[in-house]
Amino acid sequence: MGGRFFGTRQKEQDLPNHHQTSPKINPGLLDVSGPSHCPDSSPLSSLRILPTMSVPRALVLFFSVCFSAVHSCLIISEVNADNPALDTQEFVELFSLSGGSTSLNGYTLVFYNGNGNVAYRVVNLSGHSTDERGFFLIGSAELQPPPAIQLPPNSVQNGPDAIALYGPSWVPVAEKGNVSAIGLLDALVYTSRLATSSADILVHVLTPGSLPYVENSFFLDGDESIQRCWLSENYYSFQNAVPTPGRPNICPPSNPGHLWINRIQLSGWTLTGPVEISVGTDRGSMTVVVYDLQTDRVKTSAGFQASAPGNVSVNLDTASLTDLDGWALAVYQGKVDDFPKGSLANQLQPLDAFICNGLTNTPSNLLTETLIPGRKAFQFDRSFSEGDAYVTRCGTAHWARDPGVFQHHLQRPSESSHCSWYHSCPYSTAVNVTDEPPEPESGTEGDFLISEVNTDSPGGAEDEEFLELWHPSGHRTSLDNVWVLLINGNDGKIYREIELHGQYTDKHGYFVIGSDKLKPQIALPPNTIQNGPDAIAIYRSTSPPSIEKISVPKNGLLDAVVYRSRSSDRNWADLINALMPGQLPLLEDSTLLHEDESLSRCGLSRLDLNSFRVSSLTPMKDNDCPRPPAELVINEVGGVSGVDVYVELIGPPGLSLQGLVIVLYELSTARHVIPLKGSLGSDGLFLIGNESRADQSLPTVTSLGSIWLCYGLPTICANSKVQDLLVLSNNSNLQPACCGVMFSVVHPVARFDSVSRCLTNRSTVWTASHPTPHLPNLCPSPIHSVHMDLCLQAESHITCTPEGFAKMLEGSCQCGISGAHLAGVNLTCISNSLYAEGHVFALSNQQRELVAQTLQATLTRSCSAIQEPVHSKESSVGLQVGLVVTVVILCAVGGAIFYYLYKKKRPQDYLSMELNEQDSPVDL
């Protein structure tokens, strides 16, 4: 059930001028970070003690603030929304983790209807307090004990609905108000087995990452309720049980497996034994092994026989344990002789294990990930440094090998150890988030897939092995009830079973299990993942898949990979037949790349080995998948009005579509991811729709917003994975969020029910058209054309392109005009005037007439009427230039004449005359 706590909202404390951030509690699985204490983000963090304040007074204020922080730990503890018959025993139980009377001033309880996601009842809790044990009841008047706030019968709806706790000092949600996460402290989203609708939005806003809890009316013969129980470490969840209004919930430790550690006896922090083991279905010789954290070697071991269900007490050699500073304890199937003293930690997977930190020693990654993969070592309560004590299994978690399910109890004389109802305060950590989450995306996303596997790293270290899981939503997602099984192909046995309950993917949906060198979410010892022939499978199950007692479990299988190496060509047939009959195992070909390589998923088909390719390593990133040829594009989209939607692709004939997906967004941003199957036909076309000629079916779509053609694993179709894109709306949510993606925005036209790709002047344009699935597109043709010869003037600058001019005409025409229709038109723009001459192409005579009418209505001033003043203006300018030239010429001629006359009329001087005479010849 449910998700892990990771969000919170700020809330105001009772102290003036101080704030404390407090998390909301995820109803499915709550994660907090330790025992009750004064939070780092409490009012104390901003408290300034005045110099004149005495030390005792400061201490009083310090403890009062911390007490206030712990005192405010109020949670929804139990809900009974569905009673047999008349619903007269409904109730909501709140509990204060301080265990005493707590004021409820400023708190509000809101009941949400999953049909519409609005509040149908708001209860103000001010003026009330929890009782001396910390309980507070709201419910039917006939309930026993009587509730503090009484409700009429049948007031709490059966679901899918939610109950949320807000405050203190926040403005509460009003009745009929929309669901909100602001001021949220705790919430339970629930449903019933008979519910026909979902609670997606309630879950997304109130308990993101979780699933609504089912109040199973068939769980008991009588009535049942939904009760919060402590799972492990800082995790809480809910379970069905007999109603306990006003009393502690019934939370017995669950059976996590076939054999488990129940209690360990201590002296202070030293392991003294005996160890109490609970035996379930496992039989045979068993051994309890104690490891030294300093050496990872066996310190001592003791055997016992599992012959019948029940508890077995196993005594240890306490003399060899006195010097241990931190230790690990594991239970194996096998004899004591198999675990000699001083030997290194066995790589065999134990049936159960427990590791605790010492004062100075902490376990190695190798020991931790071998014995308790994905879990943390136990940390002792330092107040129990002396006297006898026990570490007792108390958590209700169904998974095994988790020290977090244990509690440390001091053993007093004449007292038996007991489990605390709640182990830690849910408000001990906080994330400062005050904005409401966005609306969730709807649509079927599917479940987890195996994204990438690297089983064989170069060299002997094998320290880059990993397994990557991915969720198709592309968002942070809970891994509750998900298991990973590593299966040996030689003997068909499971050699490692990994429980992922309580884990989360990253914000893009990735989760990596592998070698510590890669910094995965769960680290494995080097050389853990075998090279093959083997298999890796993932399951969704509330119990270990191995409980089926078969080599390859069937129930809950989500995805699998069967692989081999070049040296392992045998013994894989059984794995293939069990997981994916008729297919061939994958080969991680180490000769394909110079460096390391992996098996990467490039298609969304589940349990299909053809979806994988050998590629470079990309843990926690988009897989390195081959890009399809650029010629593969969207060719036509039909049903743009939302009726009989289809998408037609075009590309090289016979091209395989393996690894490609169509992502359809509705105008509401609902998303449909359709993995493509098959190949393009001999005509290069591929039709996705619901008509008889379709090559692949399409889910029901009511309104088209955008169509994405992507390859690889699209996380909301990452920009790097977009092959082609068509947008039918101006909604920015339907368009790429980043640069580098070419796309067209085409606005559908009421009289046409499809849009088609057309080639015009060696470029591609989209135009409204009539449907032509599996036929050549209907594009504008000279056969249906109308001549255009006009000038237009605009108040602002005109876009002098066919597309810009077509947009102007379409605004008046509404007849489907696009740039493709203006291929035969010459456009000239001067300032704010546009001159257009040529033939407008049309799809039909009907469209031609509509265009002609629009042109006639648009022609407010004829080209000749506009051109005449233009020509007059040009003539006037020419005349002016001619006059200037004439004047210049006349001035030049006049100057020349004046100079000539001036020279002629003025006589030469005497000296000049004498010189001329001397130069004359003498007459003989």
DSSP structure string for 508-523: TSEEEEEEGGG--SEE
- Quote the CA–CA distance of 636 and 707 in Å, as a whole number: 11
- Quote the CA–CA distance of 75 and 93 in Å, as a whole number: 9
Token couple for 20: 């404390």
Would you state the torsion angle of the CA atoms of residues 514, 518, 522, 526, taken in this order, to the nearest 10 degrees?
40
Furthest C-alpha separation in the chain: 174
- Quote the CA–CA distance of 692 and 535 in Å, as a whole number: 40
Q: Note whether 191 and 159 are within 8 A (CB).
A: yes
Q: Note whether 644 and 691 are within 8 A (CB).
A: yes
Token couple for 849: 């007439």
Q: Which residues partner with 118 through β-bridges?
A: 113, 178
161-174 average pLDDT score: 84
Residue 878, pLDDT score: 59
Choose among 247, 53, 296, 250: nearest CA to 134: 247
The side-by-side arrangement of strands in the sheet containing 449-454 is: 522-524, 510-515, 466-470, 449-454, 598-601, 612-615
What 3-state class would DSSP assign to 98? Answer: coil
Token couple for 449: 């897939």
331-351 average pLDDT score: 89
Residue 761, pLDDT score: 67
Give the type of residue at 86.
L
- Quote the CA–CA distance of 598 and 452 in Å, as a whole number: 7
Q: Which fold has domain 8-241?
A: Immunoglobulin-like (2.60.40)
Query: Using 50, 70 and 90 to split pLDDT, how confident is the model at 917?
Result: very low
Residue 429, pLDDT score: 33
- Quote the CA–CA distance of 874 and 511 in Å, as a whole number: 74
326-336 average pLDDT score: 92
What does the buried/exposed string (b/e) look like for 467-495 if buried means 16 or more CB atoms within 10 Å of the residue's CB? bbbbbbbbbbbbbbbbbbbbbbbeeeebb
Residue 594, pLDDT score: 72
CATH 2.60.120 for domain 633-769, yes or no, is no
- Quote the CA–CA distance of 300 and 287 in Å, as a whole number: 10
List, for residues 827-857, the tens digit of each pLDDT value.
787 777 778 888 888 887 878 888 888 777 7
Considering 80-89, 248-257, 517-526, the range whose residues carry the highest mean pLDDT is: 517-526
pLDDT at 462 over 50: yes
Lowest mean pLDDT among 282-291, 424-433, 440-449: 424-433
The overall average pLDDT reported for the chain is 77
Is residue 872 within a helix (H) or strand (E), and if so which, with residue range? helix 863-905
What 3-state class would DSSP assign to 44? Answer: helix
775-785 average pLDDT score: 86
Q: Count of CB atoms within 10 A of residue 223's CB?
A: 15
Residue 55, pLDDT score: 33
List, for residues 19-68, the tens digit of each pLDDT value.
333 334 444 454 433 333 333 332 222 222 233 333 333 333 333 333 33
**Would you kindly state where each structural domain of the chain is located, as residue ranges?**
8-241, 259-410, 449-615, 633-769, 781-861, 868-898
Q: Note whether 184 and 24 are within 8 A (CB).
A: yes
List, for residues 580-633, the tens digit of each pLDDT value.
888 988 987 767 677 788 999 988 888 999 889 999 999 998 888 888 999 999
Structure-model confidence comparison of residues 587 and 873, the more confident one: 587
pLDDT at 255 over 50: yes
8-241 matches 633-769 in fold: yes
Residue 423, pLDDT score: 59
Lowest mean pLDDT among 7-16, 201-210, 440-449, 677-686: 7-16
